[in-house]
Copies of this chain bind each other. A is one copy, B any other.
Amino acid sequence: MKDEENILIIGAGLCGSLLALRLGQRGYNVKVMERRLDLRKEDISAGRSINLALSNRGIKALKMVGLENKVKSLCIPMYGRMLHDKSGNTKLSKYSGRKSEYINSISRELLTALLIDEAEALNNVSFEFHQKCDAVDFENNIARFTNTKNGTVLDYEADRIFGTDGAGSTLRKSYLSKRKFLFSFSQNFLTHGYKELTIPATKEGEFQTEKNALHIWPRGDYMIIALPNLDGSFTVTLFLAYEGGKYNFNNLNSAEKVQNFFSKEFPDTIELMPDLTTEFFKNPTSPLGTIKCFPWQYQGKNLILGDAAHAIVPFYGQGMNASFEDVFEFDATLEAHNGDWEATFKAFQIKRKKDTDGIADLAIDNFHEMKDHVASTSFQQKRTLEMSLETALPNTYFSKYSMVTFREDMGYNQAMLLGRAQDKAILNMIEKKQLNLELPAIELHEKIKAETNSILKS
Contacts and interface: CB of A to CB of B under 8 A. Distances in A.
A187 B184 contact: yes
A182 interface: yes
A186 interface: yes
A281 interface: no
Interface in A139-173: none
A363 B323 CA distance: 35
B187 A185 contact: yes
Contacts of A187: 183-186
Interface in A170-223: 182-189
A188 B295 CA distance: 11
B185 A186 contact: yes
A287 interface: yes
Contacts of A182: 189, 242, 287, 289
A397 B242 CA distance: 45
Contact of A188 (B184, B188, B242, B289): B184
A289 B182 CA distance: 9
Contacts of A242: 182
A186 B186 contact: yes
Interface string A312-354: 0000000000000000000000000000000000000000000
Contacts of A289: 182
A189 B183 CA distance: 7
Interface string A236-274: 000000100000000000000000000000000000000
A356 to B, nearest CB: 16
A294 to B, nearest CB: 9
A131 to B, nearest CB: 21
Contacts of A186: 184-188
Nearest to A188: B184
A194 to B, nearest CB: 13
A183 B289 CA distance: 10
A186 B188 CA distance: 8
Contacts of A183: 187, 189
Which residue of A182, A185, A186, A187 has the most chain B CB atoms within 10 A of its CB atom? Answer: A182
A127 to B, nearest CB: 26
A399 B103 CA distance: 53
A5 B397 CA distance: 67
Contacts of A287: 182
Nearest to A173: B177
Contacts of A184: 186-189
A187 B184 CA distance: 5
A188 B176 CA distance: 11
Nearest to A458: B458
Nearest to A177: B173
A183 B186 CA distance: 10
A188 B242 CA distance: 28
A189 B176 CA distance: 12
A186 B289 CA distance: 13
Interface string A420-450: 0000000000000000000000000000000
A86 to B, nearest CB: 30
Given A183-B187, A183-B189, A184-B186, 4 more contacts: A184-B189, A185-B187, A186-B186, A186-B188
Interface of A: 182-189, 242, 287, 289
Ordered nearest first, which 4 A-B pairs have the shortest CB separation?
A186-B186, A182-B189, A184-B188, A184-B189
7 contacts: A182-B289, A183-B189, A184-B187, A184-B188, A185-B186, A186-B186, A186-B188
